[in-house]
Structure 1
Amino acid sequence: MADHSAEAGSITVLAGPTAVGKGTVSTFVRENYPEVSLSVSATTRAPRPGEEDGVHYHFLSHEQFDSYIEEGAFLEWATVHGLNKYGTLKHTVEAAARAGQKVLLEIDLQGARQVREALPGAHFVFLAPPSWDELVRRLVGRGTESPEEQQRRLETARLELAAESEFDQTIVNEHVETAAAELVQSMGITPRTA
């Protein structure tokens, strides 16, 4: 994707450690700020309860994902926690940006670094937890990973937290509505009041 400044300037990248609430904040933005185009990532992981294909993620087989990699169809992609692949399809981001929409990419740290290389004019937001203990509580509390997977994710989270300085802005996710309001405000959108 060529770095057209008007297009890159309409793209915001939201990243942060595992279990910080990136998906929850993004869902709140999708449901309350229809003027934001939320990029739907592709992944090889299985859907969690309540997740829908094409809404929360494009759920792909490993073979499908690898085929897209070979075609150069991703703006960014990564193998996360040594298990599954996640990626952002170029064509969906390009189309939304060309249409003048504010685009939000919710991705991991590796992906954010790749997007910075491709689109240095994008705005990069780090979503941080209120504390390490709260991050651990959120990860364990959601109950979607085995104890081994939880441990692997927490080890990754320590490294991800150390990358905060690479971002243009940090938002602490203490309350979803407040974090979402700060995020859309950083995108040039007036937050809604309750």
Structure 2
Amino acid sequence: MAKNPNLTLEGPDLAALLCSRVCHDVISPVGAINNGLELLDEGGPGASDADALDLIRTSALNAAVRLKFARLAFGASGSVGASIDTGEAEKAAKDYAAAEKKTEVTWSGPRAIVAKNRVKLLLNLFLVAYGGIPRGGSVDVMLENPEHHAKFTITIKGRMMRVPAKFVEICSGTLDESIDAHTIQPYYTVLLADECGMELRYVVSEDKIVFTAETTAA
């Protein structure tokens, strides 16, 4: 498989941009927690207290879910070369969607302990697919033979479906701008596929978009 010309980031730059991505994901719920605490400080007893506490609880859950997802999708999650239970990935993906309450996630296929980078690829492809239905909808994840000649299929349905434009450009090697914190996640998805020897594809039809990652022939 030919090397993608867009995969040019050095290690320190990759690490820095992934850190920026994680910070971007958690800054909103953490800020909302702070807003809730300010409401408690400013208001007296009554309904405002209940509203503030509800905001804090919801935002704290959202931040925790995003951090747990990021730990698996972007982090080391153990030593170099470690393996991960796909059940952990399933829980992380379902919790991630449940926290936003606008997308239903279904998951099928065998549960297995597989190479860490394969699980990270699966979760990052999930993020790409999830970003394709910004108004919400459904995401169906299917795993086939995850321990060996793996194939991951993620099907999305919803309003205003689209394949994220930067993912298309990076996949095809046609991105003509520098990678930044907004494009690092699709970049990392393509990089992981390259590292895992898996080929990324997507098929767009009228009622769904199907993303796949499949192990290439040796």
Interval of TM-score (by shorter of Structure 1 and Structure 2): under 0.3
The TM-score with structure 1 as length reference comes to 0.25
Does 1 or 2 have the higher relative contact order (CA < 8 Å, sep 6+)? 1
Higher-Rg member (1/2): 2
Structure with greater helix percent: 2
The TM-score with structure 2 as length reference comes to 0.23
